[in-house]
Amino acid sequence: MLPDFKMITPDKGKDSERETVSVDQIERLAEEMMLYPFESANRIIYIPSAGCMTVPAQNTLLKKLEEPPANNFIIMDVAKPHLLLKTIISRCLSVYLPRAKKEPDITFEDHLHWFSNNEEARKLVSDISVVFENNPLNSVSALSDIRSLLAAGSTLSDREKILVLALFLKERAPQVAHDLIVFNENPQKTSMDSVFYYISQAMVT
């Protein structure tokens, strides 16, 4: 047992069947962080399922990230960064590790944290889907039309528009949709030009 290594794992909540990292767990952690490490110069805190933290738990952790006690290092492992509050992500050093390719079930609700305007994003996904309900996507003109529709969503950022594209493509081209989400999770900025170039190479015949 390593006294200066702490791992926070999800527990099954009293009122929920879903396993979560609760606010009580983070509050206890915050108390421990105020103490000096026992044997080492530093304390390592590892949260392997950071996306399971409840919003109250994240807000409690955020207070420690804003004024971190000395000698404490927190490592959070999260497969879907959008499950974390943007304020938490902004206070962390992000290390991007590519995932193995797969075709996950992508739902709009899973990505609400990314959108500054949920209703506008939802409407944009719907508008593109209606226009291309019976039209093929494997043409340059189709991609040009989609880009024009995205340009109309002027209040959304490029990252939000890329996610709109992924949500639109989730059934038509699930692997491409997955790759767009991976691009979006990369802390380095991805341009719309590079996204549409990728889609054209992957889909246009």
Q: What is the pLDDT of residues 16-67, one digit of tens each?
A: 567 899 999 999 998 888 888 888 888 999 998 899 999 999 999 998 888 8
63 or 105, greater pLDDT = 63
Characterize 124-157 residue by residue with b for buried, 16 or more Cβ atoms within 10 angstroms of its Cβ, and e for exposed: bbebbeeebeeeebeeeebbebbbebbeebeebe
Lowest mean pLDDT among 49-53, 93-97, 122-126, 177-181: 93-97
Give the model's pLDDT for residue 105. 58
Distance between CA atoms of residues 30 and 19, nearest Å: 21
The amino acid occupying position 14 is K
The amino acid occupying position 5 is F
121 within 8 A of 164, measured Cβ to Cβ: yes
202 within 8 A of 177, measured Cβ to Cβ: no
DSSP letter, residue 21: B
60 within 8 A of 25, measured Cβ to Cβ: no
User: pLDDT (tens digit, 9 = 90+) per residue, 122-161?
Assistant: 888 888 888 777 666 666 777 888 888 888 766 888 888 8
180 within 8 A of 203, measured Cβ to Cβ: no
Across the range 87-91, mean pLDDT stands at: 90
pLDDT above 70 covers a percentage of the chain that reads 81
What domains, with CATH codes, occur in the chain?
5-90 (3.40.50.300), 108-203 (no CATH)
